[in-house]
Amino acid sequence: MQSRLFFAGILALAFASQPLLSQSATPQTTGPLQDAGPAAPESQNGAHQRRPLTKPVNLKVLPKDIAPEDLITVMRRYAGALGVECNFCHAVNPQTHKLDFPSDAKDDKGIARIMIAMTRTINDQYMAQVHDPDAMPADTHVTCGTCHRGHSMPEHFTPAPEQHHRPQAGAAPQQQPQ
């Protein structure tokens, strides 16, 4: 838990520093920040310095009585797991140019709500039934990072050809032409 939070923090820092690096001549090839509008990285830094520690007003899936500090810890973990920054899910207020955290204007916030509920169901209903003696504590539950691994969209996985099982007769879509 501790080390994962630390790792998420490092990731958040790494991405937060990217806007500075991208001023160099090297073209920025990494994806996550491409969604950010011009004003976004600045608002982003603002969010880091002045944490919005006011009581949340628009929680629909997280516990409504969550401590504001804990909420921010959870949010950092999401950002780290997806390799994004706060503005991936949170819309910028066009007047103030700051992130409007309670706003539901961005679709990704809605998707994230479904994902939070999904992850909870996986853990409560299914992972809780697994009592695997081989599992380390971190293996016993699913997190956003289990699937996302630093990508906003989980990467497609195709097993290497040599790992394929011998195809059944008539069911070999990837056969080499003779």
152 binds ligand HEC (CB under 6 A): yes
Taking CB under 6 A as the criterion, the residue among 147, 162, 168, 178 binding ligand HEC is: 147
Six-digit token string for 78: 């999401």
**Length reported for the chain:** 178
Q: Which of 59, 91, 97, 123 binds ligand HEC (CB under 6 A)?
A: 59
Q: How far is the CB of 138 from ligand HEC (least distance, A)?
A: 14
Torsion sign over Cα 29, 9, 153, 61 = negative
CA proximity to 140, closest of 124, 157, 118, 151: 124
Q: Are 76 and 143 in contact (CB under 8 A)?
A: no
Mark residues 78-117: x for contact with ligand HEC by CB under 6 A, - for none. xx--x-x-x-xxx----------xx-----xx-xxx-xx-
State the Cα–Cα distance between residues 83 and 150, nearest whole angstrom.
4
- Residues of this chain that interact with ligand HEC (CB under 6 A) are 47, 52, 56-62, 71-72, 75-76, 78-79, 82, 84, 86, 88-90, 101-102, 108-109, 111-113, 115-116, 119, 142, 144, 146-148, 152-154
